[in-house]
Structure 1
Amino acid sequence: MAFWSSQTLKAKLPTLITPYDPDKIEQASYTLRIGREIFITKDHRNSNSQHTKKILSIDEAFVIPPGQFAFLLTEESVKIPDNAIAFISMKARLKYKGLVNISGFHVDPGFSGKLLYSVYNAGPTPINLQHNLPIFLIWYASLDETDLQPRTSQGFSDIPIDVINQVSADEIYSLQALSSEFRELNFNISQKITQLEHNTCEQLDKINRTNNEARRWVDWTKYGVTTIISLLFVFLLYISSSVISVGKFIFEQKEDLKYVIEYAKHFDDYKDTSISLEKQKKDLELLSEKQSSIEAELNTLKKNHPRLFNRNRD
């Protein structure tokens, strides 16, 4: 098996690749372009992303997000003779960004149609592409003889629905996306642990404060009970002392009490005597008032009849 040189490609490819451009031949390979029909798996982080085929306008750009698959149909149709085989790949500049060809690396003898590239963005950043962008490479090689069992089915004219249905509509993660998810999950767990520790410390502080308040309450209760008992004891001692003092006083003043009792017996007589004296006092006051009245009348008569009183003197 021998790979075709650039000269051989220029001689044979005009009938094998449509549309053909001789400027696309270099280093014994031919560069194919991105066609108008594409499919990209749905990016759940983008609300505008859809799990469906798309027909691009001329030179329209599109993006393959990190961790997403894409089916890219070539703009050119290719034919592989029965006595040859082809190998396919992508430009190195896209591989360096993380775009990986996962559709296979050869084209069967007898193939005729557009090539369907299945690619995966394994890189950390979105990859921007567009219609007519020359990124696919194809090499031809001759077999030692014509293959008697070449491919008989036609190649692709569009992206088959059954191929799309084999790709999950659920979110597909790249290593970068998984790493980001892991970091976010780790951060959230750390935050929750920190919050839990904070809440636990707050609860412990609250329990300690409650215990301290309970201890203070118990201490104050003990102090209050002790104080009350002490005051009751002192009060009882005071009452006992007072009772003893009163008893002693009564015992010592026994004779005086006898005198008081005797005085109380004669109190009624004294009361009657006092009432009689009061009555006599009032009578004397009445007599004094009458005397004053008589003297006033005599003075009036003296003023009115002085001769009468002078005659009596003679």
Structure 2
Amino acid sequence: MALGNLLARVSTRPLAARACRMSTQSRSYALSSYVVSPKELEEALNKNAPSPISTDPKVIPICAAWFMPNDPEKRTGIEAFKKKRIPNARFFDIDGVKDHESPYPHMLPTCDLFAEAMAKMGVTKHDELVVYDAEELGLFSAPRVAWTLRVYGHPRVHVLNNFKLWVEQGLPVETGPPLIPNITTYKVPTYNTDMVVKYAEMKTIGYDYGKEGAEEIQILDARSKGRWEGTEPEPRPGLRSGHMPGSTNLPFQELLDPKTKALLPPEELKKVFVSKNLDPAKPIIASCGTGVTAAIIELGLKEARFGSEDDRRFTNKRSDKDE
């Protein structure tokens, strides 16, 4: 009897250890919706306070601050990050994590480069990431970074709506040079080709517009009306303004509250899409200049649940080296 009890105690120890590991990996995540409010993020961060000795999955704010190249104040994302950020946030550099061999800005990076960037930010595949923008812009480049994270298969990604409100609501911030996170091991991911429309396909869609038998694909252009019409110059020298045949102009600002610069509620988003005569039963492609603000349209479609997620794509191109 004593021997049986001893064996039972010995044999249950590894089982308990395995159960502990399983509970760590399958813990209930802090956030359930893709777009989260400042209050929701604050509560999630309080429940997942950072610990230097813990290896549990974490909720990590990711600053995606980025400014247009013709910004009159010459602001940069990294300067905005150092000036004011959510405590323990990491910085995702849109101009750095990209295809450096492409002549076009913001083309998707190789899988190896993406994994290296995530490791340097101290992120693991189990962490829950909440992407946010510069305070001044409200919602601008964070949807693009969140979309990029999803393209490379990070399982838990959210967008904060938004850092401007976070600051106005008096939630905690930190300033100055950030702490350098410990480098992690981030497994090189695969790339979800179903989320991206490549250049050759977009050319075919443009050439086939209006032809009998051509697929009815709705193209939404997030640029300003002037750039879409060709009456205003592009912010980058040498680029022509104007639009693809058959595209619909939907300046991304129409999806944001003009005062708070936050994404509109789902029902109001639906009204905007309906006002553009969009059909949720047909495929939708979001586009813009270099693939940043088009992600705001994609975010709005996702939040409003407008159309099938399988039929919503985004114009951007990754490096051909991984194909």
Bigger share in helix: 1
Bigger share in strand: 1
**TM > 0.5:** no
User: What TM-score does the superposition give when structure 2 sets the normalisation length?
Assistant: 0.20
User: What TM-score does the superposition give when structure 1 sets the normalisation length?
Assistant: 0.21
When Rg is computed on C-alpha atoms for both structures, the one with the higher figure is 1
